[in-house]
Structure 1
């Protein structure tokens, strides 16, 4: 009797093991067909790195002749002192492949001038965001902080909007309002805004001449803007600071140029400062194309 029972038990046990083995095999197949959550098994391709991997040394990036032109006080010094004045002071950074800078200053008989260059190479630590996209975001925040005014309507756009009297402006009803001057054009070709009278009586109310207001710039890197700020502290002379910021690929460059006259009644020339700052910025931009 015991042998018969044993014989009957063996087929039943074999059938049970077969069922369990089939269930394990089915579960393994489902696991392979689902999402693989193992790190690195199916990663999306990383975003492209930036074009630039290193930065040039900024103190030596500006020709001595340019520095002497932008820093008249240094040009008044004896030759041996001029050499020292144009050397510049490097900015303190901890990774010269990520950020570098240099500054110069010179006090002359007529005015004091300051020049500063800042060069930043932006790196994205998000594999889904490229260095260029990250740099574009950093640049956008800088431009937003500058609070540039809305673009002025240029002469061509203004002419297209008119429907009648020359020199008039378009009214909401489609007509023109005589007596409203059209925007003039600056010598550089940039549109000028119509001058508005000062309401505060302060000379600072119309500190930046028409056509030289803070604005975006064309033909400088991938994107660029210029800022112009006139300040006065107490009874000291007015200080004008012009900043040109441009982005080229994953690098953002800032040129800051300031002048403070010796007399409190004088106002620094916005046009001259902007022209020199833009010329230097374009020179620095060309170095990235070498």
Structure 2
């Protein structure tokens, strides 16, 4: 009996020591939460299907029909062509082409979902760094405002989203980029250098610039190319919504080098599409 009583006392003592406020010490203590806590994940875990995202009315304004066209042919144009992709949760894209007497038009969308694998860096902060590098590469005129990369606490953040190539312009490289997208070069992609374009000079309302009021951050670029067989104007808009980077590329070609595609017309249409997409992401 004495032995049983001693054993019971020992078990009671052990149980009490492991309880709240007991004398037993947790070797990790309060550091456990600090060690395991990760930066906030991004808002988006998937990506929408890009070919079906713009409304038909928007596509008709961007890619107006030329001449006589059957409803079946029009639908084929507006349906778009999806980019080849191997991970639709990380990167998707779509392209459209409209041939018309006044010049061929191309439209492309690229959606990239950025993920940070550094627990100290949020998906949004990583996406802001990707966006800022794209804006820097665009070489916007001085005084248009600029985005600064979000400081990261660790140098190991480089390439942390597992997508080495995401800092590129996302347009027609013909390479397989991270996230599994094979990005074919678009038909008629510019091979010449931009010419001097008075309408896009610094201070002009249509000059390349940062766009206020569009998503979390956005910029517009505008280039007039005259060194190719035909003149064409290329307008691109890049914006960030949380941890997704959206790139819109819209161009118009003209066989007549005296008939320069109008900056304001193309920019207005591209910005309308950008705002529509930003609103859809926020739905």
Question: TM-score scaled by structure 1?
Answer: 0.66
| 2:234 aligned with 1:241 | yes
CA distance in 2, matches of 1:135, 1:48: 13
1:45 Cα offset (Å): 1.3
Pick one of 69, 73, 78 that aligns with 1:81.
73
CA RMSD of aligned residues (A): 2.6
Retained in 2: the 8 A contact 1:237–1:266? no
Retained in 2: the 8 A contact 1:218–1:224? yes
3-state SS of the aligned residue for 1:228? strand
Pick one of 263, 268, 283 that aligns with 2:261.
268
Pick one of 123, 135, 142 that aligns with 1:143.
135
CA distance in 1, matches of 2:66, 2:255: 15
Aligned equivalent of 1:23 = none
Change (3 A) 1:89 1:74: farther
3-state SS of the aligned residue for 1:127? coil
Retained in 2: the 8 A contact 1:76–1:108? no
1:99 Cα offset (Å): 0.8
CA distance in 1, matches of 2:85, 2:256: 36
1:266 Cα offset (Å): 1.1
CA distance in 1, matches of 2:211, 2:34: 43
Pick one of 123, 126, 130 that aligns with 1:131.
123
Aligned equivalent of 2:216 = 222
Matches within 5 A, 1:166-185: none
Retained in 1: the 8 A contact 2:65–2:74? no
Retained in 2: the 8 A contact 1:120–1:253? yes
3-state SS of the aligned residue for 2:35? coil
1:205 Cα offset (Å): 4.6
CA distance in 2, matches of 1:213, 1:132: 28
CA distance in 1, matches of 2:281, 2:210: 21
Pick one of 275, 279, 282 that aligns with 1:286.
279
1:79 Cα offset (Å): 1.4
1:74 Cα offset (Å): 5.8
1:83 Cα offset (Å): 0.8
| 1:55-98 superposed Cα distances (whole Å, 9 cap, x missing partner) | 11110011222212211246752211001111100011111111
CA distance in 1, matches of 2:52, 2:197: 39
1:137 Cα offset (Å): 0.2
| 2:233 aligned with 1:251 | no
Pick one of 60, 63, 75 that aligns with 2:55.
63
1:128 Cα offset (Å): 1.0
Aligned equivalent of 2:45 = 53
| 2:113 aligned with 1:121 | yes
Matched length: 208
- By relative contact order (CA 8 Å, sep 6+), the higher-ranking structure is 2
Retained in 2: the 8 A contact 1:217–1:226? yes
Question: TM-score scaled by structure 2?
Answer: 0.68
Aligned equivalent of 1:212 = 206
CA distance in 2, matches of 1:228, 1:203: 11
3-state SS of the aligned residue for 2:85? coil
List gaps (5 residues or longer) in structure 1: 1-32, 154-201
